[in-house]
Structure formats: C-alpha cells, structure tokens
C-alpha cells in the first residue's frame, strides 16, 4: 500500500502549494502548473556534483552534495517558509521523486509540517501528461474557428472567453501567431514540454457537456507542435468561418504587426525565406514594397498571393467539416462587433466579463 505522504499526479489539486526542488534550468523547461521553484541544487552545483560522481567517486559526490543541499534547504526555510503556520501542507517533487525531494521533505516533516512527495517525481508527471493528452481531447466537442489571415480569430476567442465560453487558445499558450511572421516581439515561446503542460492543464478543466472553441491550427505553431491526439480531434470538429472584408483585415493586420512596420529589415528577412515558394520576381516586389513602406500595397498583395491561398488549401485538406462551416460575418473587427458575435455564438445576452481589447 502506498504511504499517505506519497501522492500521484491525479491528486495534485489537493495541495495549496507545490514545490519543485529541481534545478532552475529543469524548472524553466517545464514544471507542474502553479509550482514554485525551490532548488536544493542550482544549475552549477548540480553539474559539479554530477562531474564528481562520474569522474571521482559517488562517495565524494554525496558528501559535497549533502552539504550543498542542507545549506540550500536552510536558506529556503529562512527566506520563504518561516511565516507558514502549523497547518501548511505542501507537495514536493524532484526528477524521480527520490533524493532531492526526499531530503527536503524530511527536514520539513521534522519541523512538524505534513509534507507529501509526488510518486515518481517529474518523470512520472511528464508521462501522465502525455498519456492524458491522448485521452482528454476525446471528451471535448470542439467548435473550430476558421477564417483567413487577419480575420480576428484570436480576438473572437478572447470575446468568447469573456462570455464564459470554454476556449482553448493554442496561439496564446504557444506565444506565437502561427505563421511565418508570427513571432511575438520580445517574447520567447515556451519549450515543447511546457506547451504540452499548458495545453493539458486547460483540457483537464473543461466540462465535457459544453463545447470548446478553438482556432483552426496547423501541426506546428512556431517552434512547438500540437499533440497529435488533440490535433486529430480538432480536425473532426464542427467548423465556423469568420468572413471579414479585405480592407478591414488589412487595417487589422497593420495594427497587429506594427513591429514589422517599424522594422522593415526584419520583415524583409522573413519574406526572403519564401523565395523557394514564389520565386525571385515576386519576392523582389514584396521587398521593394517594404522598402517604400507601401504597406497598403504590400499587405493586400501578401494576403492575395500567399496567405489566403495557403490557408484555404490547408484548412480544406485538414478540417473535415469545413465544407459545411457556419459563417460568422463581421464588417468590423472592433471590440463591440466581436462581442456581438461571441454573444450570438454562446447564446448570451450580457457578457460574463468585459472583453479584452
């Protein structure tokens, strides 16, 4: 029988505070949602102990490791936990649920706190996330928001969320707009593992009795990929298609991608990467428009000759119900218009929360 102080991934929500005692680099790559980083060895210390273990002796490594771990545990207690009351009940985990979390948990228990550790540590957590990413999408009835580039799909998802709808905004989780120009300025994407965790954490909280709105995405969003099980389920979902006048889309895109308008050289570098698809003549035309800052010529040109044909081909091929998609017609992409559309799609009369933007 498993000791009461050792819990499984299914029991994570029982704890008001979760402590990740792995190194900062391990934590940065991925961690349990809401966990706090409390490393018992920092990155340099962990590498140093590993080198001594491999090149000198396990005994020498354990001696130094014990001294470093003890010092770091003491520092965390002094800096973070002295104000915690007797009823504090944290969950701790490390890589395998072994020495690092065991040492920290032992000290906290000696103080008098009821401490639990995660069975199998982060490694077991990661296996559970991947397994549930295969299973959870099957319980979701997806409504897939389709629409050409610049039709405000992400903005509509925000408006739907404000109405209380269940929304899985994959581009927001990936911190990327999902196209060749989709990088967000001054914002790095999460690791693949962290992206998986964020998606899993959303999926596990959805009510299977209610629809989940999601944008039609390709397999890759910037540097991360959508889990195959989720992608396959999305591709079978009911489709909605936003229809917006081209002029409105152009204005919307110029506002959304203003960082490229302020940095034509960065835009030109991205466009140059499309030379194999479109040839020298087309790329040179786009580059000349960028040099001249002729945005009202360049943006419609890109939509007509790159984005719209590519999006339509991909969506028709991959989303099986696209041919019978329900149209969502918008003359404007302002907050009021998006709110009205979201209210119609959810059947709400009043917004649950003020919409974003």
Whether the CB-CB separation of 166 and 210 falls below 8 Å is answered with yes
CA-based nearest residue to 93, from 7, 2, 26, 19? 19
Q: Known catalytic residues?
A: 94
Question: In whole angstroms, what is the distance from residue 202 CA to residue 31 CA?
Answer: 15
Whether the CB-CB separation of 313 and 218 falls below 8 Å is answered with no
40: DSSP letter = S
Radius of gyration of the chain (CA): 25
Question: In whole angstroms, what is the distance from residue 335 CA to residue 301 CA?
Answer: 27
What Å distances lie between residue 342 and 144, 196, 217, 248, 330, CA to CA?
Answer: 14, 27, 20, 19, 11
- Count CB-CB contacts under 10 A for residue 208: 12
Question: In whole angstroms, what is the distance from residue 157 CA to residue 153 CA?
Answer: 6
Extract the tokens encoding 306. Answer: 């790159």
**CA angle in degrees (0–180, nearest 5) for 43-196-129:** 90
- Count CB-CB contacts under 10 A for residue 166: 21
Q: Which residue do the tokens 């050289």 mark?
A: 265
132: DSSP letter = H
Q: Which residue do the tokens 């698809």 mark?
A: 277
Question: In whole angstroms, what is the distance from residue 7 CA to residue 14 CA?
Answer: 10
What Å distances lie between residue 103 and 5, 79, 108, CA to CA?
Answer: 14, 18, 9
């Amino acid at each position: 029988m498993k000791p009461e102080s050792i819990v499984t991934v299914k029991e994570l929500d029982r704890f008001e505070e979760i402590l990740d005692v792995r190194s900062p680099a391990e934590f940065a790559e991925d961690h349990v949602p809401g966990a706090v980083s409390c490393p018992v060895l920092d990155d340099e210390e962990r590498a140093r102990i590993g080198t001594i273990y491999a090149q000198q002796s396990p005994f020498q490594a354990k001696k130094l490791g014990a001294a470093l771990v003890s010092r770091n545990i003491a520092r965390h207690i002094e800096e973070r936990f002295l104000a915690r009351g007797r009823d504090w009940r944290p969950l701790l985990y490390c890589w395998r649920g072994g020495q690092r979390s065991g040492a920290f948990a032992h000290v906290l228990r000696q103080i008098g706190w009821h401490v639990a550790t995660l069975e199998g540590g982060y490694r077991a957590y990661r296996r559970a996330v991947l397994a549930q990413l295969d299973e959870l999408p099957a319980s979701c009835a997806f409504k897939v928001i389709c629409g050409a580039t610049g039709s405000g799909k992400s903005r509509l998802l925000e408006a739907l969320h404000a109405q209380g709808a269940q929304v899985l905004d994959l581009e927001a989780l990936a911190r990327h707009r999902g196209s060749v120009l989709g990088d967000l300025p001054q914002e790095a994407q999460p690791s693949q593992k962290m992206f998986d965790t964020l998606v899993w954490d959303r999926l596990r909280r959805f009510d299977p009795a209610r629809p989940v709105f999601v944008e039609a995405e390709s397999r890759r969003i910037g540097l991360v990929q959508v889990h195959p099980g989720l992608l396959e389920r999305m591709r079978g979902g009911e489709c909605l298609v936003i229809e917006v006048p081209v002029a409105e889309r152009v204005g919307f895109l110029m506002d959304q991608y203003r960082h490229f308008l302020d940095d034509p050289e960065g835009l030109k570098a991205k466009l140059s990467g499309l030379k194999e698809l479109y040839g020298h003549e087309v790329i040179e035309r786009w580059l000349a428009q960028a040099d001249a800052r002729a945005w009202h010529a360049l943006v419609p040109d890109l939509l007509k000759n790159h984005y719209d044909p590519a999006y339509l081909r991909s969506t028709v091929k991959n989303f099986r119900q696209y041919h019978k998609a329900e149209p969502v017609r918008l003359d404007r992409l302002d907050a009021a218009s998006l709110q009205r559309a979201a209210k119609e799609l959810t059947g709400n009369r009043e917004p649950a929360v003020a919409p974003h933007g």
